[in-house]
């Protein structure tokens, strides 16, 4: 079978790596892939957002399954376009991708189906939003409604900061049209947790949990990133499990009542305090770097799993996990998530232990391997417990180098 994976990052590298293991998969194309996927896939010179070209390629090459990594093509309707041509594609359709495309859409859904979430109001003008601030206490959260590459959320400690955030979004248009609507939200405290659910015919199948590390510096300090390290599994108390189950049922109920047909991944971001989870956000795709630790632990054929999901035939027993812990440390370019330089020579990958998996987030191969993004490499280790996985990953991180390389030293050490 021929598979096309859309995307350039560590998430897509991990998906392709796992698909490659499948006895059914003969060939994997990546659009565009990176320096790491080049070793076992054919990287295509097609942008992940160029739906027309992707579709033409898939038709011409009789692709059996397309797996969409990033949110942009999903929100733009790539699944609908592929389905119209009778092509199999993994991911939600355009109507369902609104859960990531619009924060307001998600908040309305959560409220309508009584799913616990932060209190909120949405606004379409600076004046209304500025007045609306009165209804909230501080800190509060200002969010641009649309897709902002993970930068659309601003936590404001006082009124000055909130007014500043509203000015930047409504007047300076820092997020362009993605900021035409703004959601103001109560600030939640607690522990963040993300749960990726396979959704088959509107039924949610939660995958094992992964703990992301979003801030750039040790001790969860500094600005938010896409995620710079993660591990899986993460344990939960029976009470928390029960509360999460209730939320999954409410989501399923809501999808059915709204007449939506969800298929693919629903990534639910939670804030959890005293075992009470509240939904922070929905994403309609696999998480990055969550996927980098889930794929090595997954103990079933990913190609079959994705196909069963698409066919609406998935069952709980279809999803099995290795009884090992997986941890990944992301080596970043110096300066990330602010500005950083690309094109630094990467050395030392030949010194890495055989049982370490290095997923590439942002690399480019010419004669040698060079950095090509803010997140560069995910150094991933399986171990019999968290300590072992952590030690193996960090032992190997130290063997890899490039100018300005930075990584957190405390992934999994809490
Ligand atoms: P989101 O894109 O909505 O997940 O927001 C990105 C990050 O902002 C989350 O991972 C949280 O760390 C933080 N955040 C978002 N909403 C809230 C909230 N209501 N209270 C506290 N932190 C939040
Ligand atoms: N790691 C968070 C995300 O993929 O959105």
Cα(342)–Cα(281) distance, integer angstroms: 31
Ligand approaching nearest to the C-alpha of 269: 1
Summarised one tens digit per residue, pLDDT across range 121-137 is 999 999 999 999 999 99
Q: Right CATH number for 125-180 from 3.30.1490, 1.10.3470, 1.10.530, 3.40.120? A: 3.30.1490
Average pLDDT over residues 385-399: 98
Which ligand sits closest to the CA of 145? 1
From residue 56, alpha-carbon distances to 25, 75, 377 in Å are 21, 19, 31
384 C-beta neighbours (distance < 10 Å), count: 10
- Domain residue ranges of the chain, discontinuous segments joined by +: 2-91, 125-180, 191-318, 325-402
Q: Which residue has the tokens 């998935």?
A: 314
Give per-residue pLDDT as tens, 338-375: 999 999 999 999 999 999 999 999 999 999 999 999 99
Ligand 2 in contact with 226 (CB < 6 A)? yes
- Judged by its nearest atom, the ligand closest to the C-alpha of residue 99 is 1
Nearest ligand to the CA of 147 is 1
Whether the CB of 212 sits within 6 Å of ligand 2: yes
Distance CA 12, CA 185 (A): 32
Q: What's the 163 CA to ligand 1 centre distance in angstroms? A: 19
Strand partners, 406: 332
Q: Is the CB of 288 under 6 A from ligand 2?
A: yes
pLDDT, mean of residues 280-297: 97
User: Mutation test of ligand 1: which of 120, 271, 278, 279 has the most ligand atoms closer than 8 Å to its C-beta?
Assistant: 271
Tell me, in angstroms, the distance from the centre of ligand 1 to residue 291's CA: 20
Question: What is the atom index within ligand 1 of the atom nearest the CA of 185?
Answer: 19
pLDDT exceeds cutoff 80 at 335: yes
Task: Identify which of 369, 323, 365, 361 has the alpha carbon closest to the alpha carbon of residue 229.
Answer: 361
Whether 227 is in the pocket of ligand 2, judged by its Cβ within 6 Å, is yes
- The pLDDT value recorded for residue 414 is 73
Q: Which residues line ligand 1 (CB under 6 A)?
A: 118, 141, 153, 185, 187-188, 192, 214, 224, 269, 280-281
CATH code of 191-318, in short, is 3.30.470.20
Q: 44-87: per-residue pLDDT in tens?
A: 999 999 999 999 999 999 999 999 999 999 999 999 999 999 99
Name the CATH code of domain 325-402 (choices 3.20.20.70, 2.60.40.650, 3.30.465.10, 3.90.600.10).
3.90.600.10
pLDDT digits (tens, 9 = 90+) for 80-125: 999 999 999 999 999 999 999 999 999 999 999 999 999 999 999 9
Task: Find all residues with CB under 8 Å of 378, minimum gap 6, and list them.
Answer: 10, 14, 289, 292, 328, 329, 330, 331, 358, 359, 360, 361
Percent of the chain's residues with pLDDT above 90: 97
User: For atom 19 of ligand 1, which residue has the closest CA?
Assistant: 187
Look at residue 158 and tell me whether its pLDDT is greater than 90: yes
Top mutation candidate among 70, 267, 294 for ligand 2, by most atoms within 8 Å of CB? 267
Q: What is the CATH number of domain 2-91?
A: 3.40.50.20
Given pLDDT bands bounded at 50, 70 and 90, which one contains residue 377? Answer: very high
């Amino acid at each position: 079978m021929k598979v096309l994976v859309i995307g350039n990052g560590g998430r897509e590298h991990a998906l392709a790596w796992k698909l490659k293991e499948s006895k059914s998969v003969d060939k994997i194309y990546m659009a565009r892939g990176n320096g790491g996927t080049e070793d076992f896939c054919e990287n295509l010179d097609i942008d992940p957002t160029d739906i027309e070209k992707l579709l033409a390629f898939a038709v011409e090459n009789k692709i059996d399954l397309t797996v969409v990594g990033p949110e942009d093509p999903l929100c733009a309707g790539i699944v609908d376009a592929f389905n119209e041509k009778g092509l199999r594609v993994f991911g939600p359709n355009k109507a369902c991708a609104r859960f990531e495309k619009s924060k307001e859409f998600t908040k309305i859904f959560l409220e309508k189906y009584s799913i616990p979430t932060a209190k909120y109001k949405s606004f379409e003008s600076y004046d209304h939003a500025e007045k609306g601030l009165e209804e909230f206490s501080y800190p509060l959260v200002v969010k641009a409604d649309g897709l902002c590459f993970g930068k659309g959320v601003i936590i404001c400690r006082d009124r000055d900061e909130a007014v500043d955030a509203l000015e930047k979004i409504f007047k300076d248009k820092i997020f362009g049209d993605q900021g035409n609507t703004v959601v103001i939200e109560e600030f939640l405290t607690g522990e963040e947790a993300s749960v990726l659910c396979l959704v088959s015919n509107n039924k949610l199948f939660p995958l094992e949990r992964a703990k992301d590390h979003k801030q750039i510096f040790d001790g969860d300090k500094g600005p938010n990133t896409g995620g710079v390290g993660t591990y899986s599994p993460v344990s939960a108390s029976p009470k928390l499990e029960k509360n999460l189950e209730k939320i999954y049922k409410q989501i399923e109920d809501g999808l059915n009542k709204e007449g939506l047909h969800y298929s693919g991944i629903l990534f639910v971001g939670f804030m959890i305090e005293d075992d009470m989870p509240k939904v922070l956000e929905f994403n309609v795709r696999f998480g990055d770097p969550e996927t980098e630790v889930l794929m090595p632990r997954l103990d079933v054929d990913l190609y079959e799993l994705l196909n069963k999901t698409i066919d609406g035939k998935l069952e709980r027993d279809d999803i099995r996990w290795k009884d090992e812990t997986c941890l990944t440390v992301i080596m970043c370019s110096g300066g990330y998530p602010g500005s950083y330089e690309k094109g630094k020579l990467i050395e030392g990958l030949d010194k890495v232990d055989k049982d370490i998996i290095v997923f590439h987030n942002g690399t480019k191969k010419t004669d040698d391997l060079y950095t090509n993004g803010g997140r560069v490499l995910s150094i991933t280790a399986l171990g019999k417990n968290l300590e072992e996985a952590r030690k193996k990953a960090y032992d190997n991180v130290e063997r890899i180098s490039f100018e300005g390389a930075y990584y957190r030293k405390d992934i999994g050490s809490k």
